[in-house]
Amino acid sequence: MISKRSHLIPISNILLSDAEENYVLDAVRSTWISSLGKYVDDFENKFSTYTGVKHAVSVSNGTVALHLALKALDIGRGDEVIVPSLTFAATVNAVLHAGATPILIDSMQNHWNMDPAAIEKAMSPATKAIIPVHLYGHPCDMQNILTISKTNNIFIVEDAAEAHGAECLNKKVGGLGHIGCFSFYGNKVITTGEGGICTTNDPELNDRMRKLRDHGMSKSRRYWHEEVGFNYRLTNLNAAVGVAQLEQVEYILARRSHLAMLYENGIQGIKGLATLPVSPYGKKIDWLFCVFVDESFPFNRDMLILKLKEYNIDARPTFYPVHIMPPYRNLKRIGDLPNSSKFGLTGINLPLYPSLNDNDVEYIVSVLEELARG
């Protein structure tokens, strides 16, 4: 019988160093605490260098990064955007807020990212863009997705909210399509507290996103608005945190990878549990660690989450497939989306963050082993 931990092991936790405090204090003392200040420029420049793209436009969160990308590409009413059903709802929400129509497609059978074959079935004369989601840090099959994009002359907006540092086709994700979108929410690989960024190699898209981000204001004529824009700017305080986080991103990713391997090795022998095959389409990073529950396990997914909480382990369900949730049930979909349902309704996210101890992972695996015995 395992002794229960007296303290909660959270699903996620932020790794902060002295640098975050020092940079934020420097920003406060400069009095530049809104959306102007040296840390905004510094963060954008360093993130563009890190991802290997020419331009990075910081924004207030990952959801508006997606919305800004779609608006910069003039996607709106009458346009269709192909998105996976297995994703966080923000991906689909951004399309709806842009006034466009999401077309939901299924995941691949052996991997949870969007199926290029389903993309081709979803294509229509109204298709304007595809949003590949590098779910939980695993890169999509971008080779085939980019081929479809080029053949049909449609845009690619990468949702890389959970995939900072992942690679595909010898590039970091976020630099493969027309625009890449990242989130820096507190549970992401690196954080600015709240924040996001759009990456692109297109100077015209960079300029357009910067104008739309700042109320559609002219760059050369102050307070002269050339189109209806948004207030999607990141603050200097948030950017200061981001600069410090970028300084330790390689350690963060390495630590996450180590912990994921401990999980992988420990869970392999537990009957009724399975881990996701590593993406064959590039180099994954490890955001959260996902386990799938089948019928041979003594508890279903939701009951297992409750059992883990009894052991002070905070576990979460994988994202519910969009097509089963009330606001999205009437959206057009291609087929019955069985793989999205399988991954979305049987998966559990286990704690994974840099300050998690090796023995914490061993404890979690031991608890799963005990629960597997019924």
Q: Give me the DSSP letters along 302-370.
A: HHHHHHHHHTTB--EEPPPPGGGSGGGTTS-BSS--HHHHHHHHHEEEEP--TT--HHHHHHHHHHHHH
Residue 98 CB partners (closer than 8 Å, separation 6+): 67, 70, 71, 75, 76, 81
Residue 1 has what pLDDT? 76
User: Residue 241 in contact with residue 23, Cβ under 8 Å?
Assistant: yes
Average pLDDT on 144-152 reads 98
- The DSSP bridge partners found for residue 196 are 59, 183
The predicted-structure confidence for 288-309, as pLDDT tens digits, reads as follows 999 999 999 999 999 999 999 9
Residue 50 has what pLDDT? 98
Average pLDDT on 58-66 reads 98
The predicted-structure confidence for 229-279, as pLDDT tens digits, reads as follows 999 999 999 999 999 999 999 999 999 999 999 999 999 989 999 998 787
Residue 374 has what pLDDT? 84
At 72, the pLDDT band (50, 70, 90 cuts) reads very high
Residue 188 CB partners (closer than 8 Å, separation 6+): 62, 161, 162, 164, 182, 287
Cβ-in-10-Å burial (0-12, 13-18, 19+) of 323 comes to buried
**Percentage of the residues of the chain whose pLDDT score is greater than 70:** 100
| Exposure class string for 146-182: b at 16+ Cβ within 10 A, else e | bebbeeeebbbbbbbbbbbbbbbeeebbbbbbbbbbb
pTM equals 0.96
Average pLDDT on 38-45 reads 98
Residue 6 has what pLDDT? 87
Q: How many CB atoms lie within 10 A of CB 118?
A: 23
